[in-house]
Amino acid sequence: MISRPQATIHLANIAANWQALDRLNPGSTTAAVIKANGYGLGDHMIAQTLMKMGCTTFFVAHIEEAVNIRRLLGAGARIFVLNGVTLRQARIFIDKDLTPVLSTDQHVALWAQAPRIGCALHFDTGMNRLGLSPDRLSSQAETMRKLQPLLVMSHLACADEPDNPLNAQQLKAFAQIAAAFPDVPASLANSAGCFLGHEYAFDLTRPGIALYGGSQPPLGITLQPAITLEALVLSVFEGKAGQSVGYGATHMLKQDTLLATVALGYADGIPRSGGNALMSYLDGTPCPVLGRISMDLITIDVSKAQKAAKPGARVEFLGYNAKLEEQAARAGTLGYELLTGLGYRVKRNYR
């Protein structure tokens, strides 16, 4: 029996999520963002699955990720590298047919020297993180057009807040940039941007987290969980009223309580901020986390699960019951951080 935490990655659900997003904006191409090892879930399996569904455009952050994906997928995929290109990397981009996303003046100057293989131009329309200044268009539009970009793009800062006025401001700024490159496909929307309406979709959308079951889709759009994370019950015992649970004695038992300790902890990526806050599920019965999260152990209240609570049982910490964004919110974080934080010790199994 495997005692490590087990993650079942639901590839069919990831595929269904991609299709749901693709249906949402029929006029535009739906790419897949698979950076950070596919948000922790395994970029190889995800890329292969989505390619079978007809997804041919992928985004990663680093050239190393891109080289791996190219080796896996062969020539049929377009692979964009969000973090740009350095002089030393240029040769690899060309040899492996990878597409750099140019987002600084240095990137543009460097790529102007390279043979004409495609690039993307990333403009900053108000996030002030990464991207070319739209001011450059007045002086450098010709230079940029000569690069024959395959894509012009920008990134939304507040797409997860539909009412934030910055969305409309960025949309307006980006529409002007896109108009300066009339023959070049344009892209603005990440997952949350896909939910803001058709005018945000342009020619290509770049969902990441929604593929993996995260984000807050509006009513009428259901995303499937991409992962079920389960931990093994090591011990079941009765905690006595008036006693405490775990490091720092942060939870006091008000009554005699059936407790279980499971083999999962912050070394596996469960945030310590989830102490006394996360919810686990045993056979679908909610079992709250009591006390602090330890490195390898978490103690839960199994008094409602009763007979199902025995050593060797598996407790769900993410999945159909423990929904990603709800669980993340309990720990004061986001689905992004929970997924990408899952540790090396978590065994990934693919369905």
Ligand X SMILES: *Cc1c(COP(=O)(O)O)cnc(C)c1O
Q: How far is the CB of 160 from ligand X (least distance, A)?
A: 8
Work out whether 155 is an interface residue with ligand X (CB under 6 A).
Answer: yes
Q: Report the amino acid identity of residue 48.
A: Q
Find the part of the chain contacting ligand X (CB under 6 A) among 17-25, 206-214, 236-244, 276-284: 206-214
Among 38, 100, 185, 207, which residue interacts with ligand X (rule: CB under 6 A)? 207
* Active-site residue, from 96, 247, 310, 350: 247
Query: Is 190 or 294 the residue whose CB approaches ligand X more closely?
Result: 190
Q: Is 307 a catalytic residue?
A: no
Work out whether 40 is an interface residue with ligand X (CB under 6 A).
Answer: no
Q: Is 116 annotated as a binding residue?
A: no
**Closest residue by beta carbon to ligand X:** 208
Residue-by-residue DSSP string for 57-118: EEEESSHHHHHHHHHHHGGG-EEEETT---GGGHHHHHHTT-EEEE-SHHHHHHHHTS-S--
Work out whether 209 is an interface residue with ligand X (CB under 6 A).
Answer: yes
Q: Is 212 a catalytic residue?
A: no
Work out whether 167 is an interface residue with ligand X (CB under 6 A).
Answer: no
Q: How far is CA 83 from the centre of its chain?
A: 16
3-state secondary structure 209-272: HHHHCCCCCCCCCCCCCCEEEEEEEEEEEEECCCCEECHHHCEECCCCEEEEEECCCHHHCCCH
Pairing of strands 244-245, 251-252: antiparallel
Work out whether 119 is an interface residue with ligand X (CB under 6 A).
Answer: no
CA distance 286 to 283: 9
Work out whether 50 is an interface residue with ligand X (CB under 6 A).
Answer: no
Work out whether 107 is an interface residue with ligand X (CB under 6 A).
Answer: no
Find the part of the chain contacting ligand X (CB under 6 A) among 91-99, 173-181, 188-196, 315-323: 188-196
Q: Is 127 annotated as a binding residue?
A: no
Find the part of the chain contacting ligand X (CB under 6 A) among 67-75, 143-151, 200-208, 285-293: 200-208
Tokens standing for 316?
């769900």
Residues 6+ apart with CB under 8 A from 178: 152, 184, 186, 202
Work out whether 205 is an interface residue with ligand X (CB under 6 A).
Answer: no
| Phi and psi angles of residue 231, each rounded to the nearest 5 degrees, phi first | -120, 150
Residues at the contact surface with ligand X, assessed by CB under 6 A:
33, 35, 82, 155, 190-192, 206-210
User: Catalytic residue positions?
Assistant: 35, 247
